[in-house]
Structure 1
């Protein structure tokens, strides 16, 4: 269906791909993964509109290939006066009306042949997208996404997460040969994420999905395309198996690299000795021996292990707090209410201690972001913040906290850094190379913008963090780095998130919004609730054991204990079989 062969492409600021190749064929549900800013969305843009881009290499797409697309940036149009059914079936309904109109004209027209041709064309277009059964197909998809009760609602009444699912259904029902989705999971609540999983798994055509969501990665795909360090790797199989293969490659590569390093070091000593001898002895045989050794060294250097998928760029996220306070009440909310067209939250009461790490959860559209913003503004009598608390805020609306029209350099001068060298050194820990510090923030990927927000938050050295969907757009390696940073952080955290892997791994307890109010839930109860709804009985325990073994392997690699790493990998392989 699609073949990419030795494709290379560059921006003015940086190279994106170097001779990458892959294919997409019938029956493949492909996850497209890679570090933030590696060029995944750009590659999708090239596939969808190759005429706009000057690239080297070949891109072959079957003639008449119909591509469906769901963007990560799609927004709910609150002014759209149409029902959910009408919105999803828009193309079908339009063709139905066109066919009916032509039929009416044919009853009285003299130029019957022209109208007959138009009728055939409209009918062919209707058949090509499965028009005969479109109403029942809409019902099936809505049922699969648990949205059947929303069928006759106005689109403007949907939450953002529900609208995202409606867009996915709309594109799928057009029966495209290739369906592309760019981070469709962003900001979806637990129920909607599970609905997206069902939609993906029910789709019969080819799928190419950019995603960093671990739940979807573990449950939805039979092919992985991994873009990293300008190179691309294909893997036919599940993501969980790909991760194991990557870990095994890492063990092998590091073991071989140590052997190469030792051999290069030994050869260098011999070269130095031969150079010393030839300084005082000009015999031809000595010179030839030196040249032979130097050539051998060059071969060893060229052969040195090159593993772009082993050395994956992972930001070194560290969240500092230079003003720790003794355990006390950091935040107290009393009888807080908020309403727009209707009441969102009513008589909310809770408090957070100065060392609590708390996840604020609830369905899409229940007021989580509104509450977080109000706490950050701190100008409501019902919200009381300890005078010793200094808050920092990460917004899911990135332009709210970043001036996207200025450069990265200017952004950090505004934060309080004094020199370019100081900024360059600081943001290099977050994966930003020297050459892009003069780049406009608006040109960064969504994942890079979130990393930049985290870098600003860390520089503020606040002792309370308000984080609104901090893992959105982050690649899996950045998510793991952020998990560790939040665990190590010495201060209070209130975090809105729908990523329950993330919540379970680094939060103390949960505040859950239900029926316009908030109740506290222990992590044990939260796990039971989430995993009872979404996973098999033993899934959580196996996942935790798997994570523990992966951590042990990383520690073994750090200590260059490859025998232990290999034994642990076998243990990991057995756990993966259970999943």
Structure 2
């Protein structure tokens, strides 16, 4: 029943207001803490009808927790206000949804489950009305079912399912059983199912994780076609650059709201960084001058007991305190990038470290036949292909090294990062226990080491199972690095990582002196730091240059000039960073104008 009044629900330590209004969601001065750390401090934002909002921030900053609070506010004790339109129906897609291989239903039946149920209910009520004497109660039930069917646009649901399956390039899967889908296809089917139930607010938590590029492009199309309000946690640079008209950025317990595209937001942050660094240098110079004066006044005050001298000193100390308070705080521009370092103690001269000869494997419907390739001691190689083509199986068999077709150089030490994080991390361990088990000697050594990967000291006794997906991948990278191996097998290492960590990983890969075989669907990481790709097509693997791979992707998914513009943009951004490093603010400002012109073209 529609409520026409404000209903207030007060909990211990939290305050939730449910009301009608123009805003879909309004958060006002919300604060929330875990026992290990504070997550939010008086954050505020609104989400209005029709906005497509990207929710970004570094790993572990609390994005998923804030989503959980919105989804079920009564479960959490928070300070501040959360206002949600009482008629707001929320659709939700989790980052951890798993394909149920035993589910005996077709894709069409799975997507249309709610529609088919309501259809059957309406048919059943109509049949009951033919024989029942209690027509009034049945009419009420009939009207309720009809209203629910209309609310999700039930009359046209078959056409809408077909339309969205076509949009996602999955119409071929319509009559397949759910159990026959790849993980990436199932993720898109979940998105379509939630969208077609016509929610007022669609919430998705990293829906892009593990999607191949074709499926990622399909997800982009689904997002851009959706008419309702969306709140999506994502670190995908592809989605961020091509979707969204609003940004929420959560960082260092604070939240910033930006109306506009991600590309515009990044440009705004860069301009702010130039301004803040210029102000910070001026403040630092003033602080230094003031500090010298205070020291001089202290000496004079010590030697001279006149009260006027003491007053001068106190006044100057107060000025210094005001300057300290005025120091620029920039939680959204001065974000500490993790210091990922990949290195080996056993660097090899150029030689073949991995050879695969006539490798074949078959299980379920997935087959690889006559796979042949080799990797040299410093090659950085991306293994790519559609979801479900056997990439992970091949990488795991190389790691296990018990197949006759796989030959690893005897001088090679191998380290492995799994997309199934529980395979390489004991989630019941604390971070401290995990690294003690990995050969580290004591608390201090571990604390110093993991700080490079973005973990503060208070996190060292945190259970691994309680970490975010991105934090778990950072721990895997820390363990891989600590192994000092000279062949790294990385299965989706950028999944769940925030954009700052992705770029730090790219830098580490470029500087690594060993060999890497990496499964990835991240176009940016592949073109930024790989030497070539091995692409799985038609049940086998073929080698492709980065230039050809880039051309193939851009021909299918980007405008002709996009690559050239993006490369120029990256070059200008690098020049700006160098100018800031040299405190040449005149050059930085001139370059930012040049960057602005490129941003407009994108």
Q: TM-score, normalised by structure 1?
A: 0.99
Choose from 123, 142, 150 the match for 1:100.
123
Alignment of 1:309-348 (within 5 A): 309-348=332-371
Contact 2:269 2:333 in 1 (8 A): yes
Partner of 2:11: none
Partner of 1:380: 403
User: By how many angstroms is 1:343 displaced?
Assistant: 4.5
1:30 counterpart SS class: strand
1:251 counterpart SS class: helix
Contact 1:35 1:313 in 2 (8 A): no
Partner of 2:498: 475
Partner of 2:200: 177
Alignment of 1:33-44 (within 5 A): 33-44=56-67
2:386 counterpart SS class: coil
* Separation in 2, partners of 1:391, 1:68: 43
Partner of 2:112: 89
Query: Are residue 564 (structure 1) and residue 587 (structure 2) matched?
Result: yes
Gaps of 5+ in 2: 1-23
Contact 2:366 2:388 in 1 (8 A): no
* Separation in 2, partners of 1:352, 1:280: 75
Contact 1:336 1:348 in 2 (8 A): yes
* Separation in 1, partners of 2:366, 2:170: 23
Partner of 2:190: 167
2:30 counterpart SS class: strand
Partner of 1:513: 536
Q: Could you list the per-position Cα deviations for residues 409-456 of structure 1 after superposition, in whole angstroms to 9, with x for gaps in the alignment?
A: 111111111111111111111111111101111111100000010000
Partner of 2:510: 487
Query: Are residue 523 (structure 1) and residue 546 (structure 2) matched?
Result: yes
* Separation in 1, partners of 2:573, 2:485: 32
* Separation in 1, partners of 2:115, 2:50: 25
Contact 2:40 2:254 in 1 (8 A): yes
Partner of 1:145: 168
Contact 1:358 1:509 in 2 (8 A): yes
* Separation in 1, partners of 2:361, 2:317: 75
Alignment of 1:172-571 (within 5 A): 172-571=195-594
* Separation in 2, partners of 1:59, 1:342: 48
2:364 counterpart SS class: coil
Query: Are residue 21 (structure 1) and residue 44 (structure 2) matched?
Result: yes
Q: TM-score, normalised by structure 2?
A: 0.95
1:59 counterpart SS class: strand
1:510 counterpart SS class: strand
* Separation in 2, partners of 1:353, 1:270: 62
Alignment of 1:57-76 (within 5 A): 57-76=80-99
Gaps of 5+ in 1: none
* Separation in 2, partners of 1:261, 1:88: 60
Q: Could you list the per-position Cα deviations for residues 150-202 of structure 1 after superposition, in whole angstroms to 9, with x for gaps in the alignment?
A: 11111111111010000000000011110000000000011100000000000
* Separation in 2, partners of 1:177, 1:371: 43
Q: Could you list the per-position Cα deviations for residues 382-402 of structure 1 after superposition, in whole angstroms to 9, with x for gaps in the alignment?
A: 100000110101100001000
Contact 2:366 2:389 in 1 (8 A): no
Distance 1:558 1:37, change over 3 A: same
1:472 counterpart SS class: coil
Query: Are residue 54 (structure 1) and residue 77 (structure 2) matched?
Result: yes
Query: Are residue 126 (structure 1) and residue 149 (structure 2) matched?
Result: yes
Contact 1:129 1:175 in 2 (8 A): yes
1:437 counterpart SS class: helix
User: By how many angstroms is 1:284 displaced?
Assistant: 2.0
User: By how many angstroms is 1:280 displaced?
Assistant: 2.0
**Which deviates more from structure 2 when the two are superposed, residues 340-349 or residues 247-256?**
340-349
* Separation in 1, partners of 2:437, 2:484: 15
* Separation in 2, partners of 1:56, 1:342: 52
**Which deviates more from structure 2 when the two are superposed, residues 242-251 or residues 343-352?**
343-352
Q: Could you list the per-position Cα deviations for residues 523-557 of structure 1 after superposition, in whole angstroms to 9, with x for gaps in the alignment?
A: 11101100100000011111111111111111211
Q: Structure 1 runs of 4+ off > 4 angstroms?
A: none
2:461 counterpart SS class: coil
Q: Could you list the per-position Cα deviations for residues 73-96 of structure 1 after superposition, in whole angstroms to 9, with x for gaps in the alignment?
A: 001111000000000000000000
